[in-house]
Amino acid sequence: MGTFRYSFFQFIILISAFCLISAVNLFQTSALIQQKDKQAVEAVKLLVSRHVFNDPKLLAKQIKGMLPTARLVMKSRKGSSLYKYSKKKETPPLSQLLLEQIGTKTKTHKIKSKSPRVNIEFVLDATAEMRHSDTIFYVTTGSFGFLLFTILLLQKRLSSRTMSRYREAIQDELDALKQSSSMQQLDQHEATHKICEPLVDDIKELFIAQEKQVRTSAEKIKDQAYKDDLTQLPNKHRLIQYFEDFLNNPKSPQFGILSVTRCTELQNINTTRGYSEGDAYIKQVGELILKCIKPFPEALVFRLSGSDFATILPKQTMKDSEKFGNNLQGTFGEYQNRADLDSVAYTGMISYESGNSLGELMALADMAISHAQTRQSNAWHFQTETSLEDASVESKGSQNWRKVIEHVLEQGKLSLMMQHIEPVNNSALVYNEILTRFQLKDGKKVPTASFFAMAEKLDKIIDVDKKIVELVIETLKAKALTTEHYAINLSARSIHDEQFIIWLERRLLRDTAIAHKLVFEVTEFGVQNNLPASKRFIETIHRIGARVTVEHFGTGITSFKFFRDIKPDYIKMDGSFSKGIHEDKNNEYFCRLMVDLAHRIGVKVIAESVENQEEKFVLEKLYVDGLQGFHIGKPNPL
């Protein structure tokens, strides 16, 4: 009877241990999934905040590449579907069914993105964690089953031997049997302990492995959130963390040099050579900066945005920055000659110390870049002012730029380039786009994007647009270029200015033969920003006999709403649609829809940033009217 009670007690202990281990495994898996779910949401938010391409499909690919997702949906703010992905249904793991019973289910997360303006819904795929939990459960079940079977077998043999041996024994022998049974039970307990010991070790190892997996997964997500995908350099969020950890620590005072390098040719390369060339340019600039910081062992490089890099030179002074700046300028000059560029990048530097605000330091570095851009190619400038409270700081940069712009306008330091747009068929009427380059007094070129940006900031953009229109008309007249059509880019500020429209109408009426050959390109954003003024501008251009193109088309969610009102002659699809279109069926479908809608209302479609033969072939099948890009032809002097 005692043996039976002891066996029953062992059975209860085993079942309790099994239930306890299974429960611990289940709740630990639940905690792991919840933690990973939370980290995934933070990672997606960080990715959305630093996404600069305004491309929902590219953003979706980045999310899928970074996180395992069971479902990913992107919708416009009006609810229309832009991208949808769902993992194929599989037999659910046992852990999933058990977790649902205790209230742990995969959650649907909703995030709003400002650029692009879409609503993101995603469900994290936790199948791997659940399969791992199943493995632990099955190992535990098998081990306890084997252990239980062994104990029952031993008890059965023991009971049979005892009953046959002492059935007809006397009371004294029964007393001896009782004592003997106690000793045998003790031996059995020790044997059971030896069997359980390896199982306990295995369970401990499983717990350790699971904890290690959680830490590894968390570190991986954190590392991805703080790394730039293109250059693999630390990103802006890592720079912010660096300043919070070191410069705001009163126990360890810090000082050094903060350098910001701006790749001023990025927009021009993306437009004329294609996005893949732009990516290669950014990666090359990052590698050149890394090369230049080798004399500074503690230096760090970060990629801040599409065109900006930041370099930290700890414990360095203004004198040390001269060596770094000159090294950068020389290295960029060599790359400029190899890559046939007007310039590579400009650099602004500022000293820092513990307690400085990162935002103020970045503003001062930006002003230093403005100074550098008014000098020779790839120049650098050290901002000696250390506070934004010094009112002369910003005015110095603005004064330098104002002098440069006025010099260009007065002395006519402009040159014209032309990039051909290839018609897809003989009946397609397309044109050549005219691009403008600017020069300093000594003949050195000014970054085009910076020139237009500063002209906009200093309210000089309308004067610049007038100068360009005048130069194009006079050049076409002087060279008798009246057999083809030519496009001029205009800023949104100009097309919405009544005085500019009056001036433009009068100027074109003086040369109607040239006016009929002109096409004016305006951005989709600029047109949508002030629809009534844009409509008046387009009506004026059509009345004269010229044409209008809406460029960078497709980046707005309501792109086709205003078509029937403003009636442009062309739309130029944003270059992000051409990039990799031969590998993206969703992108191809969207472009097909865009072309079909445009042709239905009599608008011709041009695809820009065509970089290779595969993209050209697909776009031709979509019946676009014209192709532009580095694969079609480089810009050449007019």
Task: Give the angle subtended at the CA of 218 by the CAs of 216 and 219, to the nearest 5°.
Answer: 65
The confidence score (pLDDT) of residue 244 equals 75
**Pairing relationship of beta strands 255-262 and 346-353 according to DSSP bridges:** antiparallel
Q: Which of 138, 25, 19, 125 is nearest to 68 (CA)?
A: 125
- Residue 419 — pLDDT band, cuts 50, 70, 90? very high
Helices (H), 226-274: 236-242, 266-272
Classified by CATH at the fold level, domain 401-637 comes out as TIM Barrel (3.20.20)
CATH number for the domain formed by residue range(s) 236-390:
3.30.70.270
What's the pLDDT score for residue 496? Answer: 92
Q: What does the alpha-carbon distance between residue 284 and residue 279 come to, in Å, rounded to a whole number?
A: 9
How long a stretch of residues is the chain? Answer: 638
**Average of pLDDT values for 8-27?**
70
Predicted confidence at residue 195, as pLDDT, reads 53
β-bridge pairing 547-553 and 570-573: parallel
Q: How far is CA 446 from CA 142, 404, 415, 466, in A?
A: 75, 9, 11, 19
Task: State the burial class of residue 45 (Cβ atoms within 10 Å of its Cβ: 0-12, 13-18, 19+).
Answer: middle
Specify the pLDDT at position 385: 60
Give the residue-averaged pLDDT of 402-415: 84
Banded model confidence at residue 70, pLDDT cuts 50, 70, 90: confident
Q: Give the single-character DSSP code of 341.
A: -
- Gyration radius (Cα) of the chain, Å: 36
The candidate with the shortest Cα–Cα distance to 51, out of 278, 235, 310, 264, is: 235
What's the CA angle centered on 485, arms 479 and 486, to 5 degrees?
75
Q: Region 524-547: what's the mean pLDDT?
A: 89
d(CA 331, CA 291): 9
| Spatial separation of the C-alpha atoms in residues 244 and 428, rounded to whole Å | 58
pLDDT confidence tier of residue 516, bands split at 50, 70 and 90: very high
Grade residue 317 by pLDDT with cuts at 50, 70 and 90.
confident
Q: Does the CA dihedral 113-118-123-128 come out positive or negative?
A: negative
Mean pLDDT of 420-429: 86
pLDDT in tens, 609-624: 898 999 999 999 999 9
**Are 422 and 626 a contacting pair, CB within 8 Å?**
yes
Candidates 488, 504, 508; CA nearest to 496 is 504
Structure tokens at 588: 């191809």
Q: Per the structure block, which two tokens stand in for 26? A: 């289940």
Mean pLDDT of 261-267: 87
Q: Which H or E element spans position 223?
A: helix 171-225
In this model, does residue 104 exceed pLDDT 70? Answer: no
> What number is the average pLDDT over the span 361-375?
78
Q: Is the pLDDT of residue 587 over 60?
A: yes
> Helix, strand, coil shares of the chain as percentages rounded to 5?
55, 15, 25
For residue 148, pLDDT beyond 80: no
Tokens 């018609």 correspond to what residue?
Answer: 423
Peptide bond just before 68 cis, omega within 30 deg: no
In order, the DSSP letters of 354-420 are: TT--HHHHHHHHHHHHHHHHTSSTT-EEE-----TT-THHHHHHHHHHHHHHHHHHHHT-EEEEEEE
CB atoms within 10 A of CB 449: 17
Task: Give the closest residue to 579 by CA, choosing from 634, 621, 619.
Answer: 619
* Rounded Cα–Cα distance for residues 621 and 618 (Å): 5
- pLDDT tens-digit map of 319-330: 778 888 889 988
Q: Which amino acid is at 362?
A: M
To the question of pTM greater than 0.85 for the whole model, the response is no
Q: Which residue has the higher pLDDT, 54 or 190?
A: 54
Instruction: List Cβ<8 Å contacts ≥24 apart for 190-196.
Output: 191/154, 192/10, 192/147, 192/151, 195/147, 195/150, 196/147
pLDDT tens for 462-499 read 999 999 999 999 999 999 888 899 999 999 899 999 99
> Residue 510 CA to chain centroid, in angstroms?
49
Distance between CA atoms of residues 461 and 488, nearest Å: 14
